[in-house]
Structure 1
């Protein structure tokens, strides 16, 4: 497995400064970009190296993917089946499930009808569901920001357990945020 931290000249750490990471990526990209290579063989080789460099950057700039990569490199595999919802997020799980189901049902009902009266009568429920989605997304965003702050604090000293816990926190938060944003899009059609 390629060490993406080494590929981009970064130390193995749960937290990486986004601007430093971006600068390291751009500096290495300029050196090995396929357009710079003149011969076909070199260009093909450079394309593969550039693709790997790009993948390294994409992984390391995303906290969840970076933590997973770090755990894998450190020999502390992530067991998704053993992942319990972090205790402070556990109360959100049924709320998000119910909100997702409500938004799905409403979106299906609205998509199934062309009747303007039915759409007009559903407007209060639609507005209420959109407000609930916005509020829940705001809560998740605050929790995500808190997790980023916690992640930043682990820059110097960290354990595999700390990293694993943060990985699961980011996993749930990003998954839920993505789901709720999809529901917002479905209801805006």
Structure 2
């Protein structure tokens, strides 16, 4: 059972957080192990498992990044070990950023570092704006349109992962 089914919600990148919280508390009460203390071991194990699943579901559904990853997996878009090919234009842009990073590693320059941080923040902001638009349209689309949106969302997911690694490098340079 997937987390959306558990919470009786449609698959959505933007679920109503009040409903998520409400379902979490409702299921927490229903599957609280203390209420099953007089049951057999099998029933106690089952309730403990359901309680654990409820906690995991809540953690995933309340966090936008975890939810994004979960939905992409749920919809078969993320495959373990997949070697996803990022668009060439993005890679060229990142090559420039990586070259600037390498230069900063050998020749620290606070102003260039600040400029590079601004540049990557702009790229990240543009991606996140596009992601917000796509996830919103996904929630209001039919199955065929959702499939197209998922492919674009997956692409942004991988671009953001790449940018996260660059931001880690920027932060390391900033601390030096």
Matches of residues 161-172 of structure 1 in structure 2 within 5 Å? 161-172=148-159
Separation in 1, partners of 2:36, 2:135 = 39
Instruction: Return 5+ residue gaps in structure 2 as ranges.
Output: none
Provide the residue aligned with 2:71 in structure 1: 67
Contact 1:137 1:177 in 2 (8 A): no
Deviation at 1:133, TM superposition (A): 1.9
Q: What is the aligned residue count?
A: 166
Change (3 A) 1:46 1:134: farther
Provide the residue aligned with 2:137 in structure 1: 153
Change (3 A) 1:25 1:171: farther
Contact 2:11 2:71 in 1 (8 A): no
Separation in 2, partners of 1:177, 1:9 = 34
Deviation at 1:143, TM superposition (A): 1.6
What's the RMSD between the two structures over aligned residues? Answer: 3.3
Contact 1:64 1:171 in 2 (8 A): no
Change (3 A) 1:161 1:149: closer
Residues 1:143 and 2:144 aligned together: no
Contact 2:101 2:170 in 1 (8 A): no
Separation in 2, partners of 1:131, 1:35 = 56
Change (3 A) 1:90 1:22: farther
Contact 1:137 1:180 in 2 (8 A): no
Provide the residue aligned with 2:171 in structure 1: 185
Separation in 2, partners of 1:86, 1:18 = 34
Separation in 2, partners of 1:7, 1:131 = 46
Provide the residue aligned with 1:176 in structure 2: 162
Instruction: Return 5+ residue gaps in structure 1 as ranges.
Output: 110-121
Deviation at 1:167, TM superposition (A): 1.7
Give the secondary structure class of the aligned counterpart of 1:29: helix
TM-score (norm 2): 0.70
Deviation at 1:52, TM superposition (A): 1.9
TM-score (norm 1): 0.66
